[in-house]
Chains A and B, each alone.
Chain A
């Protein structure tokens, strides 16, 4: 079967003045970018605004784009740089999280997930509540660790792609990912112990 229109073909069309090609590019990548920003800022409206801005920035930087890496990698690089800019201008302060947040009608908790208890925690816990709790814990991670975790786990990117987006060696990505998971476990456990003492 033929390959779908590649991003590069669409970019060329766009450079030739075809705005329809731009719209196809937007349609192809908008959901990924919105989710990237959503997991950065936890605000869907803001995530959409940031995504719009990425596409506008893309039109400005398109002449500089050299197709060495995947186009999506280039796009996420713009997104990541933009997010860093936003962070510098407005710092967010995540609220504390409780590991005892009830999940699945009180049958399990995020602590169970962290401690590896239960048969299949992911299958039994309430998605919405775990999302809320876990989101807050992830938000507390240092930015460079959080970014690796989001790109790896929520966007399914390989270490190589993440390294290109963040402009760091693959070894650094690997080490950040390892640290992020360790820290995530530690934070969840610490919170659990704090709440048990209370």
Chain B
């Protein structure tokens, strides 16, 4: 006997009903042989329809689409901003292709892994740059604060570096050279301080009269004699 409920069994099978409605039909079907039979019948029919022949595209289909595309829309690539393709479909933008290929290759790699790699590389690059900057800065500071090379007069700048004004400005740094283990450096420092001619410079030079190396003590004596004081 045909059931009078007339439920939407198709939507029930397709799982397109609200949960409440679905449950109502499910309970009804359990107790109604007519609806159960109708459900089996529709289910079998839909299964047959769903399993009908499936066709695969021809191997050359992809190529054909590309050729038709290039033939029908030769100006398309120019319109969208790319270079114009020739018939048959020119592959454009090698860099884009590489990027696309890479993305395709890594499409199943976890996003966090790719992101992590980028972060590590970025941090390494920043660390490298900072390290370079700091090293350069330290070197500059070292040179400015007492490096021998910065204080010692160089042959090409001696005219300017040994002016009394320069020595007076750099008197303390120059005086440090008097403690050098190299007698030639100590002698040069004595001569340089002599250019300054200040009281403190003379005091430093006087101390060098007792220097164990004759070249240094002679230089000190010479400077003091030239300046008329001992």
Contact = CB atoms under 8 A, between A and B. Distances in A.
A86 interface: no
B50 A26 contact: no
A20 B100 contact: yes
B213 interface: no
B77 A131 contact: no
Nearest to A137: B49
A115 B42 CA distance: 10
B82 A5 contact: no
B contact face: mostly helix, strand, loop, or mixed: helix
Interface stretch (B58-66, B144-152, B220-228): B58-66
B107 A17 contact: no
Interface stretch (A75-83, A92-100, A173-181): A173-181
Interface string A100-114: 000000000000011
B139 interface: no
B48 A130 contact: yes
Interface residues of B, number: 57
B61 A48 contact: yes
B83 A116 contact: no
A21 interface: yes
Given A17-B92, A19-B91, A30 B97 contact: no
Given A20-B100, A159-B14, A131 B93 contact: no
Contact of B100 (A13, A15, A121, A174): A13
B80 A14 contact: yes
Contacts of A47: 55
B62 A27 contact: yes
Contacts of A122: 44, 47-48, 51
Interface in B81-132: 81-83, 85, 89-93, 96-97, 100, 103-104, 106-111, 114
Interface string B8-51: 10110010100000000000000000000100111011111111
Contact of A181 (B37, B46, B85): B46
Q: Most chain-A CB neighbours within 10 Å: which of B65, B106, B109?
A: B65
Contacts of B96: 13, 16-18, 20
Contacts of B66: 19, 23, 26
DSSP majority for the A interface? helix
Nearest to B93: A18
Interface of A: 1-5, 13-24, 26-27, 30-31, 34-35, 38-39, 44, 47-48, 51-52, 55-56, 59-60, 113-116, 121-122, 125, 127-128, 130-131, 134-135, 138, 149, 152-154, 156, 158-159, 174, 177-178, 181, 184-185
Interface of B: 8, 10-11, 14, 16, 37, 40-42, 44-58, 61-62, 64-66, 68-69, 72-73, 76-77, 80-83, 85, 89-93, 96-97, 100, 103-104, 106-111, 114
